[in-house]
Amino acid sequence: MPRPTLLQTRTLPAAVEARAARDYAVRRPEGPDRTLDAAALLAAAGGCDGILCAAGDALDAKTLAALPESVRIIATFSVGTDHIALDAARARGIAVTNTPDVLSVATAEIAMLLVLMCARRAGEAERLLRAREWTGWAPTQLMGVTLERKRLGVLGMGRIGRELARMARGMGMEIHYRNRARLAPEEEEGATFHADDESFLAACDVLSMHIPGGPATNGWLNAARIAALPRGAIVVNTGRGTTVDDEALCGALRAGHLRAAGLDVFAGEPAIYEGYHSAPNVTLLPHLGSATVETRDAMGFRCLDNLDALLLHGGEPPHRVA
Ligand code: DGY
């Protein structure tokens, strides 16, 4: 039996690439490792049975409609699927899979890192040293806020949100959450559910955002919702950049309504809203949520498990989202 042909759009961890090469005829686009636009993707997809893509690869409705008949499955190396037009995939009968669970702890760690950096002004402090401007310890220099007994508001209490809540509980924070549905009592572990935005936002000394991208969440954190946060609140986003109105967030940081923001994701990545570059109270990370050796291996293996299920064994992929 000839091995199925797999278009692998990005460079992946070595162990993942080795397993893919063992079981598939792997095709890689020419040139440096980069997000593929529609033209490059279609040019590379001819005759492929499956596509192993990543966040940022353009798989909108038009591109999906133009994919060759041979493509039966798209396995994305991400939990987020906002870069793939799922309805168009369903219409074409192309299975789409993602990588849930394995990145929850790593992403929650980055959220906690941002919470800590914002609360303790670590970015500003590091820049001070690198600029060789530190003149020595001072009683009132770079004072942040203590997180113990502060309220953490988790927007989107899925797997990542719950991992963050677990970490924050260990630091003595009080947990509040807003979610499509209330968790079962044993899953809440003492967290307070809010049925509306108003009471939730008023309870956030720190707001951590974990909602997916897409039309339903575009610009969710807008000027009105920011105004509903307590003065001095911290905002952290490790979900998708599109869920934040950047102008409104920057304005609130400049005006002092918000103490700080920590952002790992941006609308239009890798470009970043210009205002963030000059704001001292913003910590910026280049979409590092799942970037640990362990997690990226696990994500790759999860992609291959999904591809194998359909292309090698003719079964149902375990993490099918469309
Ligand atoms: C994800 O898995 O969705 C991460 O954000 C990487 O894209």
CATH, residue 142: 3.40.50.720
Q: Quick one: 186 and 65 in the same domain?
A: no
Nearest CA residue ID for atom 4, ligand 1: 78
What's the pTM? 0.97
- Distance, CA of 308 to CA of 11 (rounded, Å): 19
Q: Which residue has the tokens 């899925």?
A: 158
Give a yes or no: residue 256 inside a domain. Answer: yes
Q: Quick one: 138 and 271 in the same domain?
A: yes
Give a yes or no: residue 179 inside a domain. Answer: yes
Give me the interface pTM, i.e. the ipTM. Answer: 0.96
Give a yes or no: residue 54 inside a domain. Answer: yes
Q: Work out which ligand 1 atom sits closest to the CA atom of 287.
A: 5
Q: Render pLDDT for 287-313 as a digit per residue (tens, 0 to 9).
A: 999 999 999 999 999 999 999 999 999
Contacts of 314 (CB under 8 A, 6+ apart): none
Q: Work out which ligand 1 atom sits closest to the CA atom of 98.
A: 2
Q: Quick one: 262 and 143 in the same domain?
A: yes
Give a yes or no: residue 280 inside a domain. Answer: yes
Q: Which domain holds residue 78?
A: 5-102+293-312
State which of 290, 292, 295, 297 you would mutate to test the pocket of ligand 1, scoring each by most atoms of that ligand within 8 A of its C-beta: 290
| Average pLDDT of span 190-194 | 98
Annotated catalytic sites, by residue? 240, 269, 287
Centre of ligand 1 to C-alpha 266, Å, is 12
Q: Is 205 exposed, middle or buried (0-12, 13-18, 19+ CB in 10 A)?
A: buried
Give a yes or no: residue 318 inside a domain. Answer: no
Question: How many structural domains comprise the chain?
Answer: 2
Q: Render pLDDT for 240-273 as a digit per residue (tens, 0 to 9).
A: 999 999 999 999 999 999 999 999 999 999 999 9
> Per-residue pLDDT for 30 more than 90?
no
Q: Quick one: 69 and 164 in the same domain?
A: no
Centre of ligand 1 to C-alpha 81, Å, is 8
Q: 244, 200 in Cβ contact below 8 A? A: no
Q: How many CB atoms lie within 10 A of CB 244?
A: 28
- Distance, CA of 6 to CA of 141 (rounded, Å): 55
- Distance, CA of 82 to CA of 240 (rounded, Å): 9
> Per-residue pLDDT for 1 more than 90?
no
Rounded to 5 degrees, what are φ and ψ at 304? Answer: -70, -35
State which of 12, 79, 107 you would mutate to test the pocket of ligand 1, scoring each by most atoms of that ligand within 8 A of its C-beta: 79
Centre of ligand 1 to C-alpha 55, Å, is 6
- Distance, CA of 98 to CA of 302 (rounded, Å): 8
